[in-house]
Amino acid sequence: MEAALEAAADFFKLPAGEKAKFMSNDVFKPVRYGSSIKDGEDKVQFWRVFLKHYANPLAHWIHSWPQNPPHYRERVGEYSKEVKRVALEIAESITESLGLDPTLCQLAHRLDGGMQTMAVNCYPPCPSPELALGLPPHSDYSCITVVLQSTPGLEIFDPRDGTWKTAPDTRGALQVHIGDHVEVLSNGTYKSVVHRAALNSRKTRISIASLHSLGMDEKMGVAKELVGGDEGKERYRESSFRDFLDSLSKNDIGTQGYKSFIDTLRIEK
């Protein structure tokens, strides 16, 4: 895990020209480098550069990943496999806790054959960390996200008292988030986790978020066993990863009037 964080940090240390090879605003690109550090352009500053790439199946995507630094593919590749195992185990326990028939639901199996997107984030030291954020509050569209961070900064919204809680700073500890698509599957029994990234003035912070979801065009809807009869009505519309990317391309996180993806899926009573 340490090795993956180091490889990620080394990528961001490369000369700008090397990273610019991956620069794109197209959210459908399987590998994409971007920055939201725009001097004076936006009112709200998000102090983050990122590299996003797909990782499942690894053999299909790894050749599109950066070749520089030389150890990047191997180390981040190993990490992606490890973290996928963790996500599949959690998927099994979610299915079980909802009382869903594993042969019908097959969440873990669908994630195994689904999309894994790795968001590799770099937050440089910020001179006024209290005035800016690395990433604004959001929930992930995924079913399950696993986050690894080099230093604290990840904050979780606690809906019980309306406060932000700093995720534990145990180095190397994985943080697991429920994403929007598990909220949908469970018809709202599980709620996706609202989180944000805070900044610090001293050190560069690296995080690697691995987002596990169904295939690009596979629709996630409310589990049929959880609706009808006494169970009540469906509270969410179906959607796919592609639907999420479509909505992201029109309505990016942090822009004015941004509507979170899960809010677009809610069926009003």
Ligand X SMILES: O=C(O)CCC(=O)C(=O)O
Contact residues: ligand X, CB under 6 A: 119, 121, 135, 140, 147, 149, 153-154, 195, 197, 207, 209
Question: Which of ligand X, Fe ion, none has residue 197 at its interface (CB below 5 to 8 Å by kind)?
Answer: ligand X
CB-based closest residue to Fe ion: 140
3-state SS track over the chain: CHHHHHHHHHHHCCCHHHHHCCECCCCCCCEEEEECCCCCCCCCCECCEEEEEECCCHHHHHHHCCCCCCCHHHHHHHHHHHHHHHHHHHHHHHHHHCCCCHHHHCHHHHHHCCEEEEEEEEECCCCCHHHCECEEEECCCCCEEEEEECCCCEEEEECCCCEEEECCCCCCCCEEEECHHHHHHCCCCCCCCCEEECCCCCCCEEEEEEEEECCCCCCECCCHHHCCHHHCCCCECCECHHHHHHHHHHCCCCCCCCCCHHHHHECCC
**CB closer to ligand X out of 187 and 213:** 213
Closer residue to ligand X (CB): 107 or 209 = 209
| 147, interface contact from Fe ion, ligand X, none, CB < 5-8 Å by kind | ligand X
Alpha-carbon distance values, 186 to 34, 66, 90, 181, 190 (Å): 33, 37, 14, 9, 6
**Among residues 100 and 154, whose Cβ is nearest to ligand X?**
154
Q: How far is the CB of 44 from ligand X (least distance, A)?
A: 16
- Minimum gap (Å) between residue 152 Cβ and ligand X: 9
Residue 153 contact among Fe ion, ligand X, none, beta carbon within 5 to 8 Å by kind: ligand X
Which CB, 140 or 183, lies closer to Fe ion? 140
Instruction: Find the shortest distance in angstroms from Cβ 168 to ligand X.
Output: 12
Q: How far is the CB of 121 from ligand X (least distance, A)?
A: 5
Q: Which does 220 bind (CB under 5 to 8 A by kind): ligand X, Fe ion, none?
A: none
* Chain contacts with Fe ion (rule: CB under 5 A): 140
Min dist. Cβ of residue 92 to ligand X (A): 23
**Which residue's CB is nearer to ligand X, number 157 or number 188?**
157
Q: Choose the contact partner of 119 out of Fe ion, ligand X, none; CB within 5 to 8 A by kind.
A: ligand X
Minimum gap (Å) between residue 80 Cβ and Fe ion: 17
